Structure 1
Amino acid sequence: MKIRNQKLVFLAVIDGKFNFQFYPEMYGGRPGSIASFSFRLLLAELPMHCGKPKESLTKLFNMLATIRQMLGNLKQGLCEDGNPMKISDSDRADSLRLWNGREVRVMHSIINCALALKDYELAMELLGQLCERDGAPKHALLSALGRLHLQLGDISGAEVCFSEAAEVKGGPPGVRELVDRGLLSILNNMGVCLLYGGHLKEAIAVLESAIASNPVHALHESLLLNLCTLYDMESSKGRMKKFALLRQISRYQADAPTTILEKLYG
């Protein structure tokens, strides 16, 4: 009987029927649901972890809409549920802080769900909204936005976000900045891995695409040396391709290291 009662209570909470109003002798007529915010958020996120991200996305957006309605009520001088009952300014300020924090938490969950669905546009839009909020951790958010650009293959966009993140943080680079720099350089490492895997043409294509997407930052010594070596291994036409690289260097950089020039003219 005890297990059955617990199951009924659990189903009642899911259905939103298990409210404080049902127990006036215990809660003195307090309004609202006994189900905590964390519990409701867990219920919304569970389908995503069970291979049903679309179901989670719908539930999370419903939660977000409810939270924003409550914030709107508070800003209009009402209670969270729209009741015109007066509350003190300090209580109203506390409620606004609480529900603003919950709004941010649900937005983070929606971003994770959007990434699971490969809806990068939605994820980028929400990250941008979070960056614009007062008191937001812009350094971490801009870094996350840059990594999202990298997933899309937008190296130049990622570089802009990482630069802004470093500017916001200030001071010497930390672990996050070093990881961001490593992610920007990962295409060079991919080219080397492809070469050792016997995929010479694919390795060349990866490095060439990196230069084409962001020549100002991609034309650095390590990548150029690797690409020149790959050109030499590819065919006798590698010299012509190296000359094309030399033209790009002269266009985007004032000078090139001696080792690069020796490799290009070699």
Structure 2
Amino acid sequence: MQPTPSLPPSTAISTASMEENSAPDPLTNQFTSLNDLAYELASLQDLATRGSWRSILDNVARARSNNLLSKPHDHLTYLAYNVLALSKLRRFTDASNELDSLHDFNSHLYQYETYPDVYPNRSGSMVPFLLRFLHAQISFKLGNRQEGLDRFYSLLDFTRQRIREKESKNLDVSVSVWRKREVFVMNCIIGHHLGAKEFNVCLDLINDLINRDYLDPLLISKLGYIQMQIGDLEGANVSFNRVETMQNEGKSNGCLSDVELKNLVSRNKALVYLVGKDYVSAVREYDNCIERDQTDIIAVNNKALCLMYLRDLSDSIKVLENALERVPTVALNETLVVNLCSMYELAYVNHSEIKRTLSNWIARVAPDDFDSSCTRV
């Protein structure tokens, strides 16, 4: 069982993410709902939020068979949701085949100016950024690591090219959107290199990001985590102390709320304690996090592991069970469930029956993409 790193996941990509060029002139044709952007987009977004990925596949199939998608960008939006749903359901070969149907993201077929009657006064690509991301990510899921890295680095180049274009036109809002995408892509690349223990590459990339935005507490915390991975505890402490100073002086870049930033500082401290096997102090920091935000599942999971290391299996199990009962939509993830089942196996002779009860409950409440095999029933 491993503790969850003291970092939140990378910034999520919106499933409705379209190229920002798709926005109409705000003076003439503002969107009033998601459905103004694409056919019945609100229903797809709602299903995605609830993890109803099979229903998304059904809706996309129905819309396609009934010829309900009238505009070129509708087809790309529905393709994005279809590929995302297939990926969530671990049908990666099917998702890859869907992506291959596009052939070339830069084709004139996917440019607004190709259809002046449908998109007057609009130009640029209508390919959702989500599709570009999935195109890279699915290669990893299919076991093609080098191809995936090549695609991510190509996506990074594409993103930086867009930033330069928007900067040259003084489009500040668009520049902000694309800079967030740049950070997202670089975080993905760092994550893949970190998973392969390519620490020097990770350090180069993370320092490049920090030099671009030195007030980002998430990036600096990630640097500290990587430093801990290579045994540089002194460097990690410097990084974590820098984040705490930012929190005390209120000098972060605003990417986190006050509570989120305080919890990040506490989780960083707890991680240092955990590495030093001071589990009592780590539990204290995680308790502070949970008191501020009961949905901080990183703190919940790691507190339970610390209690287990302190040989308090009963309380560690209670911590995870209470989280599942209190905030199931947040707490129900494979890492937490794997740890809970491992604790059951250590604590109870009849653990198979207990895990089966948990598995039956998960089957009733979990989203479609939850991997039920993690209960090991």
Normalising by the smaller structure, the TM-score range is 0.5 to 0.7
For 1:178 and 1:146, the matched residues in 2 are separated by: 14
Higher relative contact order (CA 8 A, sep 6+): 2
What amino acid is the match of 1:118? K
For 2:190 and 2:148, the matched residues in 1 are separated by: 11
1:44 is matched with which residue? 136
Deviation at 1:148, TM superposition (A): 1.0
TM-score by length of structure 1 reads 0.55
What amino acid is the match of 2:242? E
1:189 is matched with which residue? 277
1:74 and 1:96 in contact (8 A); partners too: yes
Indicate yes or no: 2:115 matched with 1:26. no
Instruction: Pick closer, same or farther for the CA change 1:62–1:10 going to 2, 3 Å.
Output: closer
Tell me which of 228, 231, 239 is aligned to 1:153.
231
Task: Please give the per-residue CA displacement for 1:34-78, whole angstroms capped at 9, x wherever unaligned.
Answer: 221122112212222333332221111111112222323344x4x
Instruction: Pick closer, same or farther for the CA change 1:153–1:14 going to 2, 3 Å.
Output: farther
Indicate yes or no: 2:141 matched with 1:62. no
Task: Please give the per-residue CA displacement for 1:94-119, whole angstroms capped at 9, x wherever unaligned.
Answer: 22222222212211111112212222
Indicate yes or no: 2:209 matched with 1:130. yes
Bigger Rg over Cα: 1
C-alpha RMSD over aligned residues: 3.3
Structure 2: tracts of 5 or more residues without a match? 1-60, 68-74, 80-96, 250-258, 279-377
Tell me which of 147, 172, 179 is aligned to 2:267.
179
For 2:176 and 2:211, the matched residues in 1 are separated by: 16
2:241 is matched with which residue? 163
For 1:123 and 1:37, the matched residues in 2 are separated by: 24
2:139 and 2:145 in contact (8 A); partners too: yes
Instruction: Pick closer, same or farther for the CA change 1:32–1:12 going to 2, 3 Å.
Output: farther
Indicate yes or no: 2:185 matched with 1:106. yes
For 2:276 and 2:120, the matched residues in 1 are separated by: 66
Taking every aligned residue pair, what percent have the same amino acid on both sides? 26
2:210 and 2:219 in contact (8 A); partners too: yes
1:56 and 1:113 in contact (8 A); partners too: no
1:53 and 1:117 in contact (8 A); partners too: no
What amino acid is the match of 1:116? G
Deviation at 1:11, TM superposition (A): 3.7
2:224 and 2:236 in contact (8 A); partners too: yes
Instruction: Pick closer, same or farther for the CA change 1:10–1:58 going to 2, 3 Å.
Output: closer
Task: Please give the per-residue CA displacement for 1:191-250, whole angstroms capped at 9, x wherever unaligned.
Answer: xxxxxxxxxxxxxxxxxxxxxxxxxxxxxxxxxxxxxxxxxxxxxxxxxxxxxxxxxxxx
Higher helix content, 1 or 2:
1
What amino acid is the match of 1:144? K
For 2:265 and 2:177, the matched residues in 1 are separated by: 31
For 1:188 and 1:9, the matched residues in 2 are separated by: 48
How many residue pairs match? The answer is 176
For 1:189 and 1:94, the matched residues in 2 are separated by: 46
Could you list the structure 1 runs, at least 4 aligned residues long, displaced by more than 6 angstroms after superposition. 5-9
2:365 is matched with which residue? none
2:220 and 2:240 in contact (8 A); partners too: yes
